[in-house]
Structures are given as C-alpha cells and as structure tokens.
C-alpha cells in the first residue's frame, strides 16, 4: 500500500470514529440547521397576510377589498412584534390593486427586518403578487436573505402558500452558514414542520476554518 493510500485510510478512520469529525459535524448541523429554519420561518411567518385581526397593515385582506376602483399605496410600512415578542418591520415601496374586481395586489421593492436573539435578519425582494382569494404570494425575481452570525441565502421566483404555510423556490438557491456554503436547484420550506429542504444537486461545502471556529 502506498504512503498516500495509507494517509487517506487514516483520514477516513479519523472521520468515522466516535467523537471524530463526523460526530462533530452532525452536532454542528443539529445546532445550526434548526436556527436557519427558525430564521426563515420567522421572516415568512411575520407577513401581515397571516396576522388576521392582529394586523392593520394596508395589505390586510379586509382593508384591501373595500377599495371601490383601485388601491395604490406608496412607501407602506408596518411595524410590530411576532408571537415571541421580537420586533419586526415590513416595508413595500408600493402596493397596487388595479381593480376591486381583481383580487391581486402587486407589490414592489419589499423589505422585511426582524430582530432575533442572535441579531437582526433582513429579507429583500423586488416584486411580488398577493392573491387574496387563494392566499398565495408569488415573489418574482431575486430574493436575498441575510442574518447575523454569518447566515446568507439567495434564490429567486419564490411561491408561498399562506394556508398550508409552505414555500418553494423555482430558481436555484445558494447560501452560507457559519461552517460553510450550500446550494441546490430548488428550496422547499414547511413552516409548520420547521423544515427546509434543498432539492436537485444539493451540496454542502464544509470549510475547515468554520469548523475550527465552532469547537
């Protein structure tokens, strides 16, 4: 057996042994992935559409439907707290309902911000459409997410079903967590189950410096 082959064999043994790198990685993922899911869930769950009678934002379903011909709002801003008492803000550069006969509200220049225990988290999107009848939101174009602690995620063309509380991206997703980077063809999230799934060529690249920083 060559020296190189013996070295590779030793590396595999070290990786697989109890208490070795494999166990450390599993513990890290068990800690980090729920946090990442919680951040995404908090941002999506705080949307005023799901707030019911707790929200008086311009996109409140009852408020929008009373528009006689059309509704147009510029620089709409809503501030509040989520169920855990964490302060957040949701801003739309504009919100337009073309006609009272159409249950569609066009959203532009959207930004959401929430203060989590780990620090602030921000979600930005350019355009979206909210269907009041189906209670679905379609975000058109890129979606950027960033949170304290080294969390970043970029995807595009995201659909959110507010009744089932599920989210799915039609575009590729790339992101970063403190221990490395990840990517996939699509992203699916179940906000009730608090799970996020990467589908299609999903990869996770662990950075040695990231692992060392978490020991």
CATH code of 3-213, in short, is 2.60.450.10
What pLDDT, on the 0 to 100 scale, is given for residue 185?
92
Lowest mean pLDDT among 62-66, 67-71, 166-170, 180-184: 62-66
Cross-strand partners of 74: 94
pLDDT band at 31 (very low <50, low <70, confident <90, very high): very low
- Report pLDDT for 142: 92
Closest CA to 35 of 121, 160, 104, 163: 121
**Average of pLDDT values for 199-208?**
82
Average pLDDT, the chain: 69
> Would you say residue 19 has pLDDT above 50?
yes
Model-wide pTM > 0.75: no
């Amino acid at each position: 057996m060559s020296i190189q082959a013996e070295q590779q064999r030793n590396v595999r043994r070290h990786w697989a042994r109890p208490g070795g790198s494999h166990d450390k990685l599993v513990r890290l993922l068990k800690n980090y992935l729920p946090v990442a899911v919680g951040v995404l869930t908090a941002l999506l769950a705080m949307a005023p559409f799901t707030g019911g009678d707790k929200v008086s934002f311009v996109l409140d379903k009852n408020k929008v439907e009373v528009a006689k011909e059309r509704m147009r709002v510029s620089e709409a801003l809503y501030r509040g707290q989520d169920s855990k008492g964490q302060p957040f803000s949701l801003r739309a550069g504009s919100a337009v309902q073309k006609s009272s006969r159409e249950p569609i509200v066009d959203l532009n220049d959207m930004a959401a911000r929430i203060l989590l225990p780990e620090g602030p988290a921000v979600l930005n999107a350019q355009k979206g459409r909210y269907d009041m009848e189906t209670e679905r939101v379609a975000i058109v174009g890129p979606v950027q997410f960033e949170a304290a602690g080294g969390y970043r995620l970029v995807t595009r063309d995201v659909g959110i079903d507010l009744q089932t509380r599920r989210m799915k991206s039609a575009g590729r997703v790339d992101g970063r967590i403190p221990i490395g980077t990840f990517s996939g063809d699509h992203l699916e999230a179940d906000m009730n189950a608090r799970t996020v799934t990467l589908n299609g060529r999903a990869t996770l690249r662990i950075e040695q410096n990231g692992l060392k920083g978490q020991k």
